[in-house]
Amino acid sequence: MLYVKAPAKINLTLDVLYKRPDNYHEIEMIMTTVDLADRIGLQGTAKGIHIQSADRFVPNDSRNLAYQAAQLIKDTFNIKTGVIISLDKQIPVAAGLAGGSSDAAATLKGLNELWQLNLSLDELAELGAKIGSDVSFCVYGGTALATGRGEVIEELPAPPHCWVILAKPSLGVSTADVYGAFDPDKADHPDTQAMIAALREGDYEAMCDNLGNALESVTMNMHPEVGQIKEHMLKFGADAVLMSGSGPTVFGLVNQEARIPRIYNGLRGFCSEVYAVRLLGDREPLA
């Protein structure tokens, strides 16, 4: 069995610029990986693609992005043998943390090794773009500016070291519904260039000051719980707070470890899925 780590991501910024002729949205966002990860196990078998997971919310068929990644590799390189994909889920499902995309990216990287394809990260990221908008970033990991529909990746310096508190309310958010309700003329657009400057200068305060997500107000209008979590997280002592992706997970940045227990325990009082993790920030090379 070959094991591959599939880390979650958070959005330091997320901007939606306009709707493209192909019905995708042109986006501009800065993402970074955090130390909350699924564990993907890959084992060769005679034929077929088989998904195994104890999480009842994880589909075991072609709806699963890891399944789609395996199918894409098989079709592209005419692989006749099969694979058993074991998903040990730690990242909440449908949370705005790219759990499914990261599973797909880890599957691409793992099968590249298992089936000795010798593809580069760039080649794997190009394949990933065919599966979903966040998959290319997840192939690279680390910290990056993503543009286009999310598939154009520019590596950025890792953020200053800090802790991240993640809190996911017990609700699901439809990304399609959030984008459908989005109005670029009414949105609060983040300053992407200011965030890039903060990362290049290693300036923690500037990073906190420039967090921004153009989708946040849309999701909070649909689900007021998201706004309530933001308020509580700030009240309990986080330095800066933002919703990740289209939600509903909210994250807070904290640079003093001593403040984590108060924030973590305070959120656990009304939110069942709370995590305290570190930023990863840097790319991990291929095995």
In single-letter form, the type of residue at position 245 comes to G
Q: Are the C-beta atoms of 101 and 54 separated by less than 8 Å?
A: no
Which is catalytic among the residues 15, 38, 103, 134?
134
Q: How many whole angstroms separate alpha carbon 67 and alpha carbon 58? A: 11
134 is catalytic: yes
Q: Are the C-beta atoms of 258 and 14 separated by less than 8 Å?
A: no
198 annotated ligand-binding residue: no
101 annotated ligand-binding residue: yes
Ranges of H-type helices in 115-253: 121-128, 135-140, 175-181, 192-201, 204-209, 216-222, 224-236
9 is catalytic: yes
93 annotated ligand-binding residue: yes
97 annotated ligand-binding residue: yes
Q: How many whole angstroms separate alpha carbon 62 and alpha carbon 252? A: 34
What's the token pair of residue 216? 């946040």
DSSP, collapsed to helix, strand or coil, labels residue 47 as: coil
62 annotated ligand-binding residue: no
92 annotated ligand-binding residue: yes
In single-letter form, the type of residue at position 256 comes to Q
In single-letter form, the type of residue at position 136 comes to S
16 annotated ligand-binding residue: no
99 annotated ligand-binding residue: yes
What's the token pair of residue 273? 């899925």
Which is catalytic among the residues 9, 74, 109, 168?
9
98 annotated ligand-binding residue: yes
Could you tell me which residues are annotated as the binding site for ATP? 92-102
Catalytic positions, written as ranges: 9, 134
Could you tell me which residues are annotated as the binding site? 92-102
